[in-house]
A and B are shown apart, each in its own frame.
Chain A
């Protein structure tokens, strides 16, 4: 039933791929504002993926997941981050140039790695679940890569949320995930985003910067 040419497979595949593409767009963005816009787009795509899975699997709780994703990740969190970014002085709203190419190459390597890991590990599962899972793992790794390579705390928040988007994408692809897990994961994200926002604001007020590197000195490390 599930394979290329089947509409259930195709749309899920396309939504997952679009999320992966947005992940790469985020990885290649220098401006924080554009990064947050891409994050919002990824949240909306995740909501669509959840709605579609709810439709395909006839699982109404996934509609709720989609609604949470749409409201929290597509609208609320990007708005808050946008406001935080707007308070920054303009030089801090961009990343230093000349660091993006290597990040993108690393990202492609990570996607290859995700596929090499997922495909042999899931023999026996349906094609839909396998492809969805490999894409989800790729998105997760891209988020982790963004947290490693970026310097701004806001980009770190975006990376964290990308990781979470990948997790939810993996979760909605699997049939019969309990609603409790779903809701607690969603709540966790909200709390994490809230803490990250407070942290970023505090940091900006104390150190006039969003580069976590400045914290090293205050911990007595190097420099």
Chain B
């Protein structure tokens, strides 16, 4: 009874923390990038202010847009939110931990992506279709890379449950594995592509030759745009939390640890997220955007790495 209550409490706290972190992660990355480029940059909380401003505005719908345009922001945000609830943050063994399957998380993110692509198509403008086509082309490489990485983690941990994987990696009994190094690189590449970050897409421009994510949102406005922006911020936070949970699992508190353990876990979680966000900003400022036609090559390399990791893990688990 007590354990159930604690699990539920950590789950609610986790939901609150990850929702609070989402605008801060996006704003923080923008702020660090601006500082690295020698600009002052907007306040880290600016995305939250934008969000609140947009939420008060009525969406303007294009002629001929259907129910898809009105429904997809909610579908995408709901799917991403559910994925966010499943990824362990400051604590492990939360109420939803038994269903926190990595394949489910991948599926939820794919659902959100499908909603976004549909929204891009719905108004019938050229840019939306172009962005959706590009997004789906990239997804054809990113999804298998993600699933192959999940396969490797599942073979190593004996389960595809993210909570179990994180708990096992926290103990450190697996040691350092080359396959984990490859999976880390593959997942980072997929994360960059999924979140439309710099080598794949530039989140700060509306340049028609390069844009992918923004092209699908050109028709969105008001409340709908706020939902899409919130979804993008939440997705970035989910990915960073996912990387932190798998590859930096130390310090996460068990659900029954009590308030002190939770505070320690929360501080460490915040530090890990900040570290990843700063690393992302540094990476983005130090690299150039690649041509759109090079992106499948980039993601194909990620897929190959994941497959290589799978081959290695099959060999070495057969050996050791």
Contact = CB atoms under 8 A, between A and B. Distances in A.
B181 A17 contact: yes
B178 A105 contact: no
Interface string B149-177: 00000000000000000000000011111
B182 A21 contact: yes
B178 A14 contact: yes
Contact of A4 (B297, B307, B316): B316
Contacts of A104: 300-301, 304
A5 B300 contact: no
B311 A112 contact: yes
A68 interface: no
Contact of A14 (B181, B301, B318): B181
A10 B176 contact: yes
Interface string B295-320: 00100110011011001100110111
Given A111-B311, A119-B319, A24 B304 contact: yes
Given A5-B175, A13-B178, A16-B178, A115 B311 contact: yes
Nearest to A115: B315
A11 B176 contact: yes
Interface string A28-39: 100000000000
Contacts, number: 72
A20 interface: yes
B320 A127 contact: yes
Given A16-B178, A20-B178, A111-B311, A130 B319 contact: yes
B319 A131 contact: yes
A24 B185 CA distance: 13
Contact of B173 (A5, A17, A24, A101): A5
Interface in A112-128: 112, 115, 119, 127
A94 to B, nearest CB: 14
Contacts of B318: 119
A104 B301 CA distance: 8
B178 A3 contact: no
B153 to A, nearest CB: 15
A67 interface: no
Contacts of A4: 174-175, 177, 316, 320
A221 interface: no
Contacts of A24: 301, 304-305, 308
Interface of B: 173-179, 181-182, 185, 297, 300-301, 304-305, 307-308, 311-312, 315-316, 318-320
Interface of A: 3-7, 9-11, 13-14, 16-18, 20-21, 24, 28, 100-101, 104-105, 107-108, 111-112, 115, 119, 127, 130-131, 134-135
